[in-house]
Amino acid sequence: MFELDQRIAEQLTEVALNSAVQVRCGNSNAFMVTASTMIPLMQMFEMGGVYISANRGAVEIIQAFESIGMDVSNIQFIDLVSSGILGGTDVPYSNIHFVDSPIMLESVLLRTLYILRTTSSVRNFVFLDSVNALAIYNEDRILAEYLHTFINTFRQREILSVVLNVPDQTPPLVLSNLDLYCTDLIDRGQVVIH
């Protein structure tokens, strides 16, 4: 039985549409924290959005959500991982878009803006999973600058941005800048493994 973190939903009720939420988690609880963030956005707040997948392929993420009963057919996925895998873009889902590489940060932003322009949802979010995965491919200063542009682009358009990261795998410069750029923090980074 999958159990959601209800405190995340409570924290999200206090967030405005033009907010940027930094969500910190550990490796052991990343999926639980992600699902506990996504479900209230989609169900309680009736939001649509874009899920940017830099950590794992979008098919794997969709299947994990479906395994806990989540319908993600209204969410558009931007997959930064699967283009580098042989046959990775041959998928059965029409809501997955591919960017060739995690270093193509400008392409990710432009593709996200295009998808949001074509969506029918009145209120939208952008969920970036995850900063620590982007840090593998991008220089610290470049990534920090990109996140500043990313967050402010959506803030200006009243689109909620949610940025997931594992703090101990995120470069200090990027982490400190996220603390500066983001308006809200959901911290589930300290986890006791049962």
Is the separation of the CB atoms in 142 and 150 below 8 Å? Answer: no
Question: What pLDDT shows up at residue 192?
Answer: 45
pLDDT digits (tens, 9 = 90+) for 163-189: 999 999 999 999 999 999 999 999 998
Cα 46 to Cα 52: distance, rounded to the nearest angstrom: 19
Question: What pLDDT shows up at residue 194?
Answer: 41
Q: Is the peptide bond before 130 cis (omega within 30 degrees of 0)?
A: yes
Is the separation of the CB atoms in 47 and 41 below 8 Å? Answer: yes
Cα 85 to Cα 71: distance, rounded to the nearest angstrom: 26
Tens-digit pLDDT string for the chain (194 aa): 568 899 999 999 999 999 999 999 998 899 999 999 999 999 999 999 999 999 999 999 999 999 999 999 999 999 999 987 766 788 999 999 999 999 999 999 999 999 999 998 899 999 999 999 999 999 999 999 999 999 999 999 999 999 999 999 999 999 999 999 999 999 998 644 44
Burial class (CB in 10 A: 0-12, 13-18, 19+), 105: buried
Cα 72 to Cα 51: distance, rounded to the nearest angstrom: 10
State the amino acid at position 89 in one-letter form.
Answer: T
Is the separation of the CB atoms in 61 and 93 below 8 Å? Answer: no
pLDDT digits (tens, 9 = 90+) for 98-116: 999 999 999 999 999 999 9
